[in-house]
Amino acid sequence: MTIRSTGARVAAYAWLTFAALNLVDLVFGITGNASRSLTALGIGTLLVLGSGIAYTAGLRPAIIGDDDAVTIRNPLRDVWAPWGAVREIEGTNAVTVRFAGPDGEELVTRAWVNQTSPRAQAKAERRTRKEQSKGPGFDLTGRTPAAFAAEQLNDLHERQRPKTRSGAPDKVALAKEDAADKPSKGTITWSIPALASLVVPLVALIGVVIAAAVS
């Protein structure tokens, strides 16, 4: 299960297309004369920096759930929490996951994807209560995207719990052994590609500005 923001990805791809066309124009002079000036270099660096922002904020963020763990990719950091480490998943104005960290301490991470404002959340809750008051059989369409994502993740989490039949001690032992073999602590790491996509063009831009100031 992979959850991404469609709007953010569309905007990111639109910017990347715009940046690529303008970089080609700067280098080859399709709509005019090609330029090798510091001004053109500065514009090109800004386009690359904008592309780094589009990548980190639009393309990277995602919530990924599989048989082993839930992974939350935020703009600059990755959170990986095996199901054995997950303590709680909530979806209010954002998806939050509470899990056991590397040192055993309890950590809480907030997903960048599917965030909603408190006003939108309150509006969705009012719609849900109104639909529930109509009686059974009504779909809870008033849920926020974060609440729906949290529900899907909780369902996936529940499916990963060991299931055994009563009176079958061999299966119980096998389930416990399998659970013991799986990691029970999550991790939070910085994304090197995401950091590089911002730091490298930013440093280059600073260099261009300094070169233009001293020239």
Nearest CA to 60 out of 48, 75, 82, 81 is that of 75
Can you give the pLDDT at residue 120? 61
Between 196 and 177, the higher pLDDT residue: 196
In this prediction the pTM is: 0.80
The pLDDT of residue 167 is above 60: no
**DSSP state for residue 114 in the 8-state scheme:** T
Phi-psi region of 104 (alpha: psi -120 to 50; beta: other; left: phi over 0): left
